[in-house]
């Protein structure tokens, strides 16, 4: 019995050594071509870039600072926000990037009962929006790893930053495809599938693992997005799909359209979203009066915005969505003091089965781009 | 009743989309790109004929892609241009060719 036991232990040890050796061998085998691939890609990327450009690749901190005073249903909230974005390039093909949001939310102490005259109290919330590494693997493909924003619809990836969005209120359907965390932890492949003078087709495909780490929470999910853009008409149409693979496994779908006609300085965007708990749409138009007959230099910095949106409950709603049907028309007036400073104001009325309410927003946004390292100057 | 309202709005939404497509598909004279506040002027010299086509192509890509989401910056420090374009290449899903043309346009 003892001999058998000793013999088994020897075999076990040998098997462990074989496993370890084969694992190390496999890692070596994988590392070698990976290094060659990375080196070749970086080298090729450097060769591909124009030699006569003065562009520098230094680490950058960009982002925005915003302050919004919101009055919704008679309850006043003060919302200051700092959203820094750190960009650290490593060569011309690797980029480390991260965005963190620091959002203050302050309301009067007796905000639930009135008369809304108490001192403002609240706290600052911190959120890691994304922390990802991007590897430009080929001309038309980029591999993203880490925590990234879910590529769903027009809003979450592209229009959500405070200095980009035309109206500070998020659309009523925003949580469809983004709830509950708005980000994924895993891998994503994205790029342009076809880039022709007449049209280009963009794509994103991702898979996310479950993560319960503080600030990095994510659900297990898969999904993707594809869009076609016609540059001569400045029209883009796209579709997004996402399936959560834990808890209630549900599908989320979106269809969107964006149009900036060349003949008029109008920006039209629309999106339809749906999942198991609800569906809805928003349609938004923004206009810079370029040809205003009086004081054109003043009015061309002004932006008029209008948005109509509606949400319909399905299967009881909730889960990040509203639990009753809602509708909200909203108008806004923004003024660009400079390209980085913007004053903004908006008014919307929420029609809800729980009661209607008015929403006012006043504030400003400032965006910045600062180099963190001395570099080549022109 | 709610379903009827929903169907009505969906129909309106679909009709709006159809009108938009018809409007876009209608032939018409293409006007120069609108220059809103924050429009970046091309820095390519007209005298340099070899750089001009690339700069024009870069300007077209800039106007078509960047302005889709945000107002473009008036100025961009050349030191950060490469980094910002790498970031925007990933975000806006641009090709290497587009990145090159934008580099030539923004930091010639």
Q: pLDDT of chain A along its 378 residues, tens only?
A: 445 555 666 665 554 544 444 444 444 434 444 444 444 444 444 445 666 777 888 999 999 999 999 999 888 899 999 999 999 999 889 999 999 999 999 988 776 666 667 788 899 999 999 999 999 999 889 999 999 999 999 999 999 999 999 999 999 999 999 888 989 999 999 999 998 889 999 999 999 999 998 989 999 999 999 999 998 889 999 999 999 998 888 999 999 999 998 888 899 999 999 999 999 999 999 998 888 888 888 898 999 999 999 999 998 888 888 889 999 999 999 999 988 999 999 999 999 988 999 999 999 999 999 999 876 554
In three-state secondary structure terms, B85 is helix
Inside any domain, residue B31: no
**pLDDT average, residue stretch B3-16:** 55
Best to test chain B binding among A45, A55, A129 (most B CBs inside 10 Å): A55
Give the nearest partner residue to B82 out of A56, A140, A290, using CB atoms.
A56
Q: Which of 2.40.160.10, 3.20.20.70, 2.170.150.20, 3.40.50.300 is the CATH number of A63-371?
A: 2.40.160.10
DSSP character for A155?
Answer: I
Q: Is residue B73 part of a domain?
A: yes
CA-closest candidate to residue A272, choices A234, A312, A316, A318: A312
What interface predicted TM-score (ipTM) does this complex get?
Answer: 0.82
What whole-number distance in Å separates Cα of residue A144 and Cα of residue B89? Answer: 12
Q: Is residue B36 assigned to a domain? A: no
Neighboring chain B residues of A134 at a CB cutoff of 8 Å: 86, 90
CB A133 within 8 A of CB A148: no
CA–CA distance, A253 with A273 (Å, rounded to integer): 6
Q: Which domain holds residue B77?
A: 44-108
- Alpha-carbon span A347 to A327, nearest angstrom: 14
- pLDDT of A120 reads 87
Distance from CA of B47 to the nearest CA of A (A): 17
The domain spans of chain A are: 1-47, 63-371
Number of domains in chain B: 1
Testing the interface with B: which of A260, A289, A312, A339 to mutate, by most B Cβ within 10 A?
A339
Contact present, A102 and A82 (Cβ < 8 Å) = yes
B57 found inside a domain: yes
**DSSP type of residue B30:** P
B63–chain A nearest CA distance, Å: 9
CB contact under 8 A, B93 and A191: yes
**CB-CB: which of A263, A279, A336 is closest to B37?**
A336
By the 8 A CB rule, do A217 and A181 touch? yes
Q: Which of A187, A160, A195 is nearest to A175 (CA)?
A: A160
**Interface membership of B8 toward A (CB under 8 Å):** no
| Residue A83: burial class (beta carbons within 10 Å; 0-12, 13-18, 19+) | buried
């Amino acid at each position: 019995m003892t001999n058998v036991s000793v013999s088994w232990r020897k075999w076990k040890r040998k098997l462990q050594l074989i496993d370890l050796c084969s694992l190390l061998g496999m890692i070596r085998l994988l590392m070698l071509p990976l290094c060659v691939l990375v080196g070749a890609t970086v080298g090729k990327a450097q060769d591909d870039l124009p030699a006569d450009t003065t562009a520098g690749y230094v680490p950058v901190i960009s982002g925005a600072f915003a302050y919004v005073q919101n009055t919704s249903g008679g309850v006043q909230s003060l919302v200051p926000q700092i959203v820094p974005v750190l960009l650290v390039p490593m060569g011309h093909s690797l980029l480390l990037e991260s965005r963190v949001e620091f959002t203050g939310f302050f309301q009067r102490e007796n905000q639930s009962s009135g008369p809304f005259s108490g001192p403002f109290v609240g706290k600052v919330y911190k959120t890691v929006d994304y922390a990802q590494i991007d590897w430009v693997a080929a001309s038309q493909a980029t591999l993203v790893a880490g925590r990234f924003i879910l590529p769903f619809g027009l809003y979450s990836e592209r229009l959500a930053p405070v200095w980009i969005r035309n109206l500070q209120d998020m659309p009523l359907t925003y949580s469809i495809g983004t709830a509950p965390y708005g980000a994924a932890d895993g891998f994503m492949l994205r790029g342009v599938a076809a880039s022709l003078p007449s049209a280009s087709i963009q794509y994103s495909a991702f898979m996310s693992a479950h993560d319960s780490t503080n600030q990095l929470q994510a659900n297990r999910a898969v999904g993707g997005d594809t869009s076609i853009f016609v540059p001569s008409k400045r029209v883009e149409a796209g579709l997004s799909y996402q399936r959560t693979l834990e808890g209630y496994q549900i599908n989320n779908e979106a269809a969107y359209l964006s149009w900036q006609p060349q003949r008029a300085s109008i920006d039209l965007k629309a999106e339809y979203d749906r999942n198991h708990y609800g569906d809805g749409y928003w349609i938004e138009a923004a206009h810079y009066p370029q040809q205003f007959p009086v004081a054109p230099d003043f009015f061309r910095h002004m932006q008029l915005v209008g948005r109509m949106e509606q949400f319909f409950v399905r299967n009881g709603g909730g889960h990040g969505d509203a639990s009753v049907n809602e509708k909200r028309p909203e108008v806004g007036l923004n003024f660009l003091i400079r390209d980085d400073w913007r004053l903004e104001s908006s008014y919307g009325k929420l029609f809800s089965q729980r009661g209607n309410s008015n929403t006012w927003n006043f504030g400003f946004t400032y965006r910045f781009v600062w180099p963190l390292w001395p570099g080549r100057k022109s | 009743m709610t379903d009827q309202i929903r169907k009505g709005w969906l129909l309106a939404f679909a009709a709006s989309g159809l009108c938009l497509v018809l409007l876009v598909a209608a032939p018409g004279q293409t006007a120069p790109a609108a220059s809103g506040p924050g429009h970046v002027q091309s820095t390519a010299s007209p005298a340099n004929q070899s750089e001009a086509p690339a700069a024009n192509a870069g300007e077209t890509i800039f106007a078509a892609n960047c302005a889709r989401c945000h107002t473009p910056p008036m100025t961009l420090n050349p030191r950060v241009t490469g980094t910002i374009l790498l970031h925007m290449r990933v975000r806006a899903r641009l090709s290497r060719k587009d990145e090159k043309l934008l580099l030539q346009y923004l930091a010639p």
